[in-house]
Amino acid sequence: MIKKMFFSVFLGLCFSASSAAQVSLQGKFEQGALVRGQVPSGTQVKLNAQAVKVTPNGQFAIGFDRDAKPEQRLALIYPDGLTEIKPLKISARKYQIQSVKGISNSIMKPDPKAVARAAQDAKQTQAARDRFTESQAFLSEFIWPLTGRISGVYGSQRIYNDEPGNPHFGVDVAAPTGTVVVAPADGEISLAVADMFYSGGTMIIDHGYGVSSSFLHLSKLYVKPGDKVKQGQAVAEVGATGRVTGPHLDWRLNWFHMRLDPVSIVPPMESVLAAQKKAKAN
């Protein structure tokens, strides 16, 4: 059964008796975060004028990207027609920025064929992330697909020869090639490709309502598109495929096209490792 663990934030405007209700939101209001919410059944939800998909029971997900502006607006249109506008304050984050000089021209300007292949890969991954399904697995309490040392964080960016590179949109967990990767929540495999240009072995799990997990640089994939997976099920193995310097899992979280921080929906890695250590000692 899906666990619905909502930290309630009661939106404090006064409504008519027919529309008065508690609205709850779970998550941090900061850049990169996924937030899940509950409204009365039949309520329409909009984030900055963008319509948000809502389950028949009134549950939904929204996200705030890496560079989200501090002022956001959540609109709730209740079944009786009453509308509530709720301003949201989004906290800014500080990201790791590193300047790298002396990069060769061959790296700065890759082969046109490689560029074309990477563009095709991007189309495939975007199509898998943009699809909508009615699974409500996105409401569950997610787990880490792999535990270990975090070697890369969301939002970090390198400046190559004074040219900004793309930010890193995932969390990296270092592990030897062949280490098993599990599904962080129930879902359906929407993409499984053994060798993409940049990301190597790549998998996307659709958790429903636009929420998806992506795993990059895999050495082995256990599942194929269309397969249904359960939380904790082994789905792949860590690798060093694609354009990387060593084996690790790059886990990414999306709300449709929006790239979010997976750390926003799981317990801190330190607490998970501490619990594992304690369990082994008992």
pLDDT of res. 110: 76
pLDDT of res. 240: 96
Q: Which CATH superfamily is domain 97-281 in?
A: Glucose Permease (Domain IIA) (2.70.70.10)
pLDDT of res. 163: 84
Tokens of 235: 């789905």
pLDDT of res. 103: 61
pLDDT of res. 9: 38
3-state secondary structure labels for all residues of the chain = CCCCCCCCCCCCCCCCCCCCCCCEEECCCECCCEEEEECCCCCEEEECCEEECECCCCEEEEECCCCCCCEEEEEEECCCCCEEEEEEECECCCCCEEEECCCCHHHHCCCHHHHHHHHHHHHHHHHHHHCCCCCCHHHCCCCCCCCCCEEECCCCEEEECCEECCCCCEEEEECCCCCEEECCCCEEEEEEEEEECCCEEEEEEEEECCEEEEEEEEEEECCCCCCEECCCCEEEEEECCCCCCCCEEEEEEEECCEEECHHHHCCCHHHHHHHHHHHHHC
pLDDT of res. 111: 85
Q: pLDDT 10s per residue in the chain (282 long)?
A: 444 333 333 343 334 434 435 799 999 999 999 999 999 999 999 999 999 999 999 999 999 999 999 999 999 999 999 999 999 999 999 999 988 676 666 656 778 898 899 999 999 999 999 999 999 999 999 999 999 999 999 999 988 888 888 899 999 999 999 999 999 999 999 999 999 999 999 999 999 999 999 999 999 999 999 999 999 999 999 999 998 889 999 999 999 999 999 999 999 999 999 999 999 998
Q: Where are the domains of the chain?
A: 24-89, 97-281
Is beta strand 200-208 parallel, antiparallel or unpaired with respect to 187-196?
antiparallel
pLDDT of res. 106: 61
- 24-89: CATH topology is Immunoglobulin-like (2.60.40)
pLDDT of res. 99: 82
Is beta strand 157-160 parallel, antiparallel or unpaired with respect to 97-100?
parallel
